[in-house]
Amino acid sequence: MINFKESIAEKLSKIVEGLDKDEILSMLEVPADSKLGDYTFPCFRLAKVMRKSPAIIAKDIAEKLDDNSIFEKIENVNAYVNMFLNRKAFMSEVIKEVADKKDRYGSSDVGQNRTVIVEYSSPNIAKPFHIGHIRSTVIGHSIYKIYDFLGYKTVRINHLGDYGTQFGKMIVAYKRWGKEEDVKKAPIQTLLEYYVKFHEEAEKDPSLEDEARETFTRLENGEEEEVRLWQWFRDESLKEFNRVYEMLGIEFDSYAGESFYSDKMKPVIDKMREKNLLIESEGAHIVDLSEYNLSPAVIMKKDGSTLYITRDIAAAIYRKDHYDFYKNIYVVASQQNLHFQQWIQILELMGYEWARDCVHVPFGLVSLEDGTMSTRHGRVVFLEDVLNKAVEQTKNIILEINVNTDNLDVTAKQVGIGAVIFNELSNNRIKDYVFSWDKVLNFDGETGPYVQYTHARAASVLRNAGDDFDYALENMEELDMNYISSDSAHELAKMIYAFPDVVLEAAEKYEPSIVTRHIVDIAQGFNRFYHNEHILVDDVAEKRAKLLLVYATKQTIKNGLHLLGMEAPERM
């Protein structure tokens, strides 16, 4: 597809003295008001060099550009050269590109098959998969899809929280108060109750904390009973987690969690010693990072057990050796900012040049309307409950408004779960937010169901057009694009044209909400076009041309929803 901005910069570089194409490209702007053109070139910077007023310079440039075939018209307004694209040529270019690429429209080969690891979700074994986990899960899944779409070889890792002192607590609680039949009946709920009880009892009897640490040390040392219970808790937890992942349509390439690296830490600690990084402090071993304005990092406790940071360093080294990654992306809450700064700095000090290829993508936290969530106190909202309730609510709405659908259950799942995902990805990831049932299940406004409904509306128009749509797609070269040169059609085409750049920007910023906001804009643009223009008109040539723009819209929305991890229903 023609890069119109680059073409304009190329043409201006032959007219404007003293600036090369790249400089001009950086100066070109898209006016906020489309009445001022599709692109504009400000001439203030040229005044000193040319020793003329910016307005005179703009007038000269506009006159020299005036006869170019890609422009419909060029105007100079004060110091600006405002350029209006030839709408017919622009529309033809956009529709051809979408029709050619179809499900790959917006994709590219910028990744050159380089390996990108995306670590996301990573719930703790034997604890609830709650609403707080949805952030890492759906943000990470969308980042994976975006990078995959851009030609990277992507690896999805679920770095399970399946090690640490918490398992000492869980094993102690089970041995003291647990029943096997209760765990088998409702694994996560029962284990949560044990975990809560442990902390309640530990407040009365602090020696329980020591017992838990000793139990975890036995687990690390491979004691049979501790390992048996840990493996059982892990297996039962994964069954629960996978039910939720299946609802969300999410799969992973690896479930290698913290425990996977338990036998890989000795070489890491040996290398730190070799580099003289380890210092003994009150019986523990630390790395002093004060030179880098970071607090000390504890690598080994005084009882010899390891910590998250030790395992994360071992994991990064393993991943580089095993996958030879170009980027190693961690989608983990902003609470862990210091943790990531510390271990990435330690990797550098250990001599690993690729340390800065490890990227922490932080996100804000979820709280409940009556305060923060706490697993220790049992104050959680189960993610599975959220998804089931969303599906049930959607089903009720579909029945209430008598929506035309091929399969009620399938559509309710697509829209209900889509609403939850879209709600998560609609705002900048770094923002904290309060979880509200009312907001999640509100299908009005700039929501997932609105975008999905727009896709279904476009699909309905194409179905109702019958053979005319097939003809239009097969014979687009002979169709008159002047029928789709109105303001609403042109604005919609510009948003479709921008989609590939939006995908690239979302990847560069690790920010799926950029895609989310853009497909909302496309949906709104399509609905304006739909209401302003009659599409299935009697004039066959006009109808067929308009159907092509409907098709391009539908395909682009579908591709955008795919990058968010959402379905695009054909009927709603």
254 and 345 fall within a common domain: yes
CATH number of residue 411's parent domain:
1.10.730.10
CB atoms within 10 A of CB 201: 15
Same domain? 193 vs 307: yes
In Å, how far from its chain's centre is CA 559?
A: 14
Indicate the residue among 85, 104, 126 that finishes a domain: 85
93, 30 Cβ separation under 8 angstroms: no
Q: Which of 85, 103, 128 is the last residue of a domain?
A: 85
- By the 10 Å C-beta count (0-12 exposed, 13-18 middle, 19+ buried), 50 is classed as middle
Helix axis angle, 187-204 to 165-177, nearest 10°: 90
Are 363 and 452 contained in the same domain? no
Q: What is the pLDDT of residue 443?
A: 72
Do 230 and 362 sit in the same domain of this protein? Answer: yes
Residue 97 belongs to a domain: no
Does residue 19 sit within a domain?
Answer: yes
Separation CA 310–CA 266 (nearest Å) = 10
| pLDDT confidence of residue 314 | 96
Task: Examine residue 98 and state whether it is found in any structural domain, yes or no.
Answer: no
CATH of the domain at 129: 3.40.50.620
Domain that holds residue 165: 115-271+303-368
Strand arrangement, sheet containing 80-85: 39-42, 80-85, 71-77
- Give the single-character DSSP code of 444: S
Are 129 and 384 in contact by the 8 Å Cβ rule? The answer is yes
CATH code at 68? Answer: 3.30.1360.70
CA distance 97 to 105: 7
Largest CA distance in the chain: 87
Residue 293 in tokens: 């304005």
Distant-in-sequence contacts of 243-249, Cβ < 8 A, 24+ apart: 243/384, 244/129, 244/383, 244/384, 244/387, 245/121, 247/384, 247/387, 247/413, 247/417, 248/137, 248/138, 248/141, 248/387, 248/417, 248/421, 248/565, 249/565, 249/567
Q: Are 77 and 137 part of one and the same domain?
A: no
Residue 416 lies in a domain: yes
Question: How does pLDDT run across 182-193, given as a tens digit for each residue?
Answer: 998 888 889 989
The pLDDT score that the predictor gives to residue 406 is 80
Residue positions annotated with a catalytic role: 127, 130, 133
Asked whether the beta carbons of 91 and 484 are under 8 A apart, the reply is yes
Q: Are 453 and 528 contained in the same domain?
A: yes
Alpha-carbon gap, residue 299 to 149, rounded angstroms: 38
Position 464 in a domain = yes
The answer as to whether 290 is a domain residue is: no
* Count of the separate structural domains present in the chain: 3
What is the pLDDT, as a whole number, of residue 302?
85
Same domain as 223, residue 362: yes
Spans of the chain, pLDDT less than 50: none
313 and 419: one domain?
no
Residue 514 within a domain: yes
Residues 39 and 170 placed together within one structural domain of the fold? no
Angle, helices 513-532 vs 448-465, to 10°: value is 40
Tens of pLDDT along 30-48? 999 999 999 999 999 999 8
Question: Do 222 and 363 share a domain, yes or no?
Answer: yes
Check whether residue 63 and residue 192 sit in a common domain. Answer: no
Please check whether residue 292 lies inside any domain of the structure: no
Which pLDDT does position 308 carry in this prediction?
A: 87
Please tell me the pTM assigned to this model.
0.92
| Same domain? 52 vs 149 | no
